[in-house]
Chain A
Amino acid sequence: MIEYATYFGFISIGLAVLMNLHRLIVGPDSINRILALDTLTINTIALFILFGIWQGSSTNFEAALLFAMVGFITTVAFCKYLLRGDIIE
């Protein structure tokens, strides 16, 4: 059962990733792209966890945790850059 669930997860997240990619490339402006990257990060975290379930490994959860903890900094930095130019004031 879990096997089918992971397959389903892979397919759905894979599709989501492709849609993110579309938004990322098409834009039209930087905010769309940054948001696309952020969503892509979240989808990647999901992929990590799915891999973990699939391979039966627990290190992946840590990677996901680390990614969740630091991944948003990238988005924040991009946004701060758009808002103020200087990201460390």
Chain B
Amino acid sequence: MNLALIVLLPFIGALFPAFLIRSGRNACAYGTGVFTLVAFILLLVQAPAVFSGQVIQARFEWLPQLGLNVNFFLDGLGFLFALLILGIGLLIILYARFYLSHNDPMGRFYVYLMLFQGAMVGIVLSDNILLLLIFWELTSLSSFLLIGYWRHLPEARQGARMALAVTGGGGLALIGGMILLGQIAGSYDLSEILQAGDQIRSSSLYIPALLLILTGAFAKSAQFPLHFWLPHAMAAPTPVSAYLHSATMVKAGVFLLARVWPALSGTPEWFYIVTSFGLVTMIISAWIAIFKDDLKGLLAFSTVSHLGLITMLFGFGTPLAAMAGVFHILNHATFKAALFMSAGIVDHEAHTRDIRRLGGLLFLMPITATLALVAAASMAGIPLLNGFISKEMMLEEAVHTTYLGQDWILPVFATLGALFSVAYAARFAFHTFLGPVRDDYPHKPHDPPFGMWLPVFILVSLVVLIGLLPGLIAEPLVKITTDAVTGGNTPDYHLSIWHGFTPALFMSMIALAGGLTLMALYLPAKSFRERFPRPEAKVIFEAIIEAIAKVSGQITALAHNGSLQRYLAVMVSAIIAVGFAGYLGSTPLGAGERAMVPVNWPGLVAWVLLVAALGATLMYHHHRLFSLILIGVVGMVVSLTFFYFSAPDLALTQISVEVVTVVLMLLALNFLPKETPRESSSLRKLRDLVLSGLAGLGVAGLVYAVTTRGFESISDYHLAESKPGGGGTNVVNVILVDFRGFDTFGEIIVLGIAALAIYALLDSALHGAAQRRLSKWVPEGVRAMDPHPFILVIATRVLLPLALMVGVYIFLRGHNQPGGGFIAGLVVSIALLMQYMASGFSWAQHRLKLDYHGLIGAGVLAAGLTGVGAWFAGRPFLTSDYTYVHLPVIGEFELATALGFDVGVFLTVVGAVMVALANLSRVGRRADAAYEAQEQATDGKEA
């Protein structure tokens, strides 16, 4: 339970900052921090158990049919990562409090940060790989929001998009790989997959699964050639960079490598792919980092380089290398977060991050500079700091690993990578903090407030402490983590500063001397580098994206050319094909045995009316107003038919829907051409005639076949169960609000969405090109002088209370008699819209101050809450209950929970109709105002 809470707490914490910001920035930051702190403490509470070798589990069923369960487990690896994520997260929250300026929306920042934090903790504690994938995608999404936090900056938006495209694309590959992995192992639970290593490695699906999983991990951990998104993600605020690129986001990829290490490593494929990508990434990005002028850019490429190093170590496949990798994850997180935060402080104080404009800061901001120098020294691998120890281990392992049968390749290139990293660390340190004090900083720098350098101080203390006493402080944690990574094969190795005169020590010394030499020769090295062409990743990326977009645009244009006739033709043809397949199937569907009912006179009249109206619609459909009138006739016959076949609910609904339809259509028609253009060729008309004729005949045949035979339908069950099961005698209503309440719930949500879509679409008509067209609109024909005829005004006002009462009545009795929320909603809407029509929009709006958008939301909420209410009675969602209540005067009546649900339906319907009406008429009023202004202007001129 505690485990689930650790994952859940950041998500819960994400709910509050947006509100807390109203109580001030401190309340917001510390209120957010409390959630992380509690999660951190809960994690520490588990520490004794984890250190004693236990694996703590928490399991909840979610969709067991799919193998998707909310299973968490905490082993050493998860513990280390959760510790980093929550611990550094806490420091970042403190740091960001001081980093963000008054203009930055702090509430939003913390919401994104907490979402991201929760997703990361979710990844590292998931026991189920499907659950892990969900959290994985969540990190991609929330990091997109974080990187694009300064959304007014184009670089931020582009960087966020790039990060999303690359990590999201990698996530797609990972989904494929994980599902293959689950298929091979026969379970989606990590704890079982990790036991099935031999089975996985010998499977024929091993290679595809490996490639897909590695693609996902490499995209996330920015391995070459997918590394390019990370430097562009530096457009984010520095706290984000410090968090994402030291302890979290990019570490998710190496976490995954560590997690699947027991299952996938140990094969030549694993060794060559992972080691090679890691090695290449380490060297190339270290080389690039040396020449970056942007402090954060330099740190970004150095991060990529260190990730390459860790990846390479996991690639070696030996337990000792895995141990070195784990240790380096810990060390890199500490010094890199400290460095990013220092870079942020420099940026914050000096108002620039350009190394060429900095220098001599040691004397102006001694605290920050000292901390940053120590962290940079650790990054370079200077003895007595933590970076030195893990780098030694890496070099040692490189010496003992043969690559392509050669002993020398890995040691040489590993030393080269180390040399480059000394060089860029030196550049970061010397060119920013040392050298003479300048007098041309954009802003005179000094040390920041205590709260801003405190997080850096804490991290740098860790850097020094681990560096001095590795065996005491880091070893237990590294050992249990290695235990989890290697499946219990932890080597008997002690972390210490001094291992004697080993080859690694000499390599370290070469790297140190070489790196400092390279730094001394910085300018020649720079001109040497600039002699070669360097591909610009962003240009390539954008070209690729553009090409993909173009191809998919062409494919889309092929299938969707915008012709509604074509879509309809395709759909109808498909239906005809399916239908005829049914007719011609194994048991041909012919006439049934039931006798025909004699035709009666009213039926005949209705039939003639319907056929004539439909025929006329077909003939005169170019004339829009006429077709609308004719469709009114069709609706009338349909409602009559419903009545005739004893479906009063449907008839009532149909009657009210007709009215609303006509009003909304007429509102729209005002701005449409009165005649539709004639554009169909005669060949197309012939095609349409054949298609529609066939479809019509097919449907007629189907109706004939169905109505001439008796068959058992589900209606009998509904009729029988309506009263005992749903507590109502009106079966239609009971079906709507109870038996199929979930359907209705979905439908009212769709209705609400449709109304909001109308709002969104019409809102765009009031801006830009559409607005300019609208302002030139001139009404057709002569307009009558009286916009609000008096008789109509009086009649509708008198009718209002009556109509409302009818609405309430229909609503209340709906459960037992024809009626219900939907019809009542329509009736009330009509009662309201006739006021708008008769007395004018502003008159009605002034008296009826209802937020119709809110009404939709309230409706969906009411229905949802009624459904949730069933949970408290221990029943499934939307189970209804009813009881009998006795009130004086009124007498005994029944009260069903379905009534609450029906209130929801009612509110949503009223809201949706009125939103559509208000927005359609808004366009009209805007056009009218523009027209009248025009008129007055011309009148003025004439006068």
The answer to whether B633 and A24 touch across the interface, beta carbons within 8 angstroms, is yes
Cα–Cα, bound, A86→B777 (Å): 12
A-B contact pairs, 26 of them (CB 8 A): A24-B613, A25-B612, A30-B626, A41-B636, A51-B602, A60-B648, A62-B648, A62-B652, A62-B818, A66-B655, A66-B656, A67-B655, A71-B659, A73-B834, A74-B662, A78-B625, A80-B837, A81-B666, A83-B783, A84-B784, A85-B783, A87-B667, A87-B670, A88-B836, A89-B787, A89-B788
Nearest 5 CB-CB pairings of A with B: A88-B921, A83-B784, A14-B605, A86-B924, A59-B648
**Binary contact readout B653-670 vs A (1 if CB under 8 angstroms, 0 otherwise):** 001101100110011011
A contact residues around B920 at 8 Å (CB): 88
Q: Which of A11, A60, A74 contacts B658 (CB 8 A)?
A: A74
**Binary contact readout B818-848 vs A (1 if CB under 8 angstroms, 0 otherwise):** 1000000001001001101110110000000
Rounded to whole Å, the gap between the CB of B652 and the closest CB of chain A is 6
A70 and B609 in contact, given A14-B602, A24-B629 (Cβ under 8 angstroms): no
**Interface segment out of the listed B433-441, B495-503, B798-806:** B798-806
Task: Please tell me if A34 contacts chain B, counting CB pairs below 8 Å.
Answer: yes
A73 and B830 in contact, given A24-B629, A87-B667 (Cβ under 8 angstroms): yes
A86 and B655 in contact, given A21-B608, A47-B640 (Cβ under 8 angstroms): no
Cα–Cα, bound, A83→B633 (Å): 22
Rounded to whole Å, the gap between the CB of B274 and the closest CB of chain A is 68
**Chain A, residue nearest B625 (CB):** A30
Interface residues of A (CB under 8 A from B): 7, 10-11, 14, 17-18, 21, 24-25, 30, 33-34, 37, 40-41, 44, 47-48, 50-51, 59-60, 62-63, 65-67, 69-71, 73-74, 76-78, 80-81, 83-89
Q: Which of A18, A63, A67, A74 contacts B632 (CB 8 A)?
A: A74
Rounded to whole Å, the gap between the CB of B862 and the closest CB of chain A is 25
B contact residues around A21 at 8 Å (CB): 608-609, 612-613, 633
Q: Which of A33, A66, A88 contacts B827 (CB 8 A)?
A: A66
**Chain B, residue nearest A84 (CB):** B783
Rounded to whole Å, the gap between the CB of B458 and the closest CB of chain A is 65
Q: Which of B608, B659, B799, B840 contacts A18 (CB 8 A)?
A: B608
The answer to whether B827 and A78 touch across the interface, beta carbons within 8 angstroms, is no
The answer to whether B662 and A77 touch across the interface, beta carbons within 8 angstroms, is yes
A69 and B802 in contact, given A47-B640, A78-B662, A89-B840 (Cβ under 8 angstroms): yes
Task: Please tell me if B925 contacts chain A, counting CB pairs below 8 Å.
Answer: yes
Interface residues of B in 668-704 (CB under 8 A from A): 669-670
Rounded to whole Å, the gap between the CB of B603 and the closest CB of chain A is 10
A73 and B612 in contact, given A63-B651, A81-B669 (Cβ under 8 angstroms): no
Classify chain B's interface size: 35 or more
**Chain B, residue nearest A52 (CB):** B643
Rounded to whole Å, the gap between the CB of B861 and the closest CB of chain A is 28
**Chain B, residue nearest A30 (CB):** B625
Cα–Cα, bound, A36→B181 (Å): 71
Interface residues of B (CB under 8 A from A): 601-602, 604-605, 608-609, 612-613, 616, 625-626, 629-630, 632-633, 636, 639-640, 643-644, 648, 651-652, 655-656, 658-659, 662-663, 666-667, 669-670, 779-781, 783-784, 787-788, 792, 799, 802-803, 806, 817-818, 827, 830, 833-834, 836-838, 840-841, 917, 920-921, 924-925, 928
Cα–Cα, bound, A14→B637 (Å): 13
Cα–Cα, bound, A84→B818 (Å): 37
A10 and B662 in contact, given A70-B830, A76-B837 (Cβ under 8 angstroms): no
A contact residues around B817 at 8 Å (CB): 59
Besides A24-B629, A59-B648, A81-B669, 16 more A-B contacts (Cβ < 8 Å) are A14-B601, A14-B605, A17-B605, A18-B608, A24-B630, A30-B629, A33-B629, A51-B602, A66-B806, A69-B803, A73-B659, A74-B659, A74-B662, A77-B662, A86-B670, A87-B837
**Chain A, residue nearest B666 (CB):** A81
B contact residues around A77 at 8 Å (CB): 662-663, 666, 837
The answer to whether A87 and B663 touch across the interface, beta carbons within 8 angstroms, is yes
**Chain A, residue nearest B619 (CB):** A25
B contact residues around A87 at 8 Å (CB): 663, 666-667, 670, 837, 921
The answer to whether A76 and B834 touch across the interface, beta carbons within 8 angstroms, is yes
Q: Which of A7, A47, A63, A84 contacts B652 (CB 8 A)?
A: A63
Rounded to whole Å, the gap between the CB of A14 and the closest CB of chain B is 4
Cα–Cα, bound, A10→B648 (Å): 20
Rounded to whole Å, the gap between the CB of B748 and the closest CB of chain A is 22
Q: Which of B609, B803, B834 contacts A17 (CB 8 A)?
A: B609
The answer to whether B806 and A69 touch across the interface, beta carbons within 8 angstroms, is yes
Rounded to whole Å, the gap between the CB of A23 and the closest CB of chain B is 11
Cα–Cα, bound, A40→B608 (Å): 14
A contact residues around B629 at 8 Å (CB): 24, 30, 33-34, 37, 78
B contact residues around A63 at 8 Å (CB): 643, 648, 651-652, 655
Cα–Cα, bound, A88→B651 (Å): 27
B contact residues around A18 at 8 Å (CB): 605, 608-609
B contact residues around A66 at 8 Å (CB): 652, 655-656, 806, 827
A contact residues around B658 at 8 Å (CB): 74
Rounded to whole Å, the gap between the CB of B181 and the closest CB of chain A is 61
A contact residues around B921 at 8 Å (CB): 86-89
Q: Which of A10, A48, A59 contacts B601 (CB 8 A)?
A: A10
The answer to whether B632 and A37 touch across the interface, beta carbons within 8 angstroms, is yes
Rounded to whole Å, the gap between the CB of A42 and the closest CB of chain B is 11
Q: Which of B648, B659, B818, B925 contacts A70 (CB 8 A)?
A: B659
The answer to whether A85 and B663 touch across the interface, beta carbons within 8 angstroms, is no
**Chain B, residue nearest A74 (CB):** B662
Cα–Cα, bound, A21→B608 (Å): 9
**Chain B, residue nearest A69 (CB):** B803
A contact residues around B799 at 8 Å (CB): 69
B contact residues around A62 at 8 Å (CB): 648, 652, 818
B contact residues around A81 at 8 Å (CB): 625, 666, 669-670
The answer to whether B837 and A88 touch across the interface, beta carbons within 8 angstroms, is yes
Cα–Cα, bound, A33→B632 (Å): 11
A contact residues around B605 at 8 Å (CB): 14, 17-18
A contact residues around B633 at 8 Å (CB): 21, 24, 37, 40
**Chain A, residue nearest B841 (CB):** A88
The answer to whether A85 and B670 touch across the interface, beta carbons within 8 angstroms, is yes
Cα–Cα, bound, A44→B803 (Å): 20
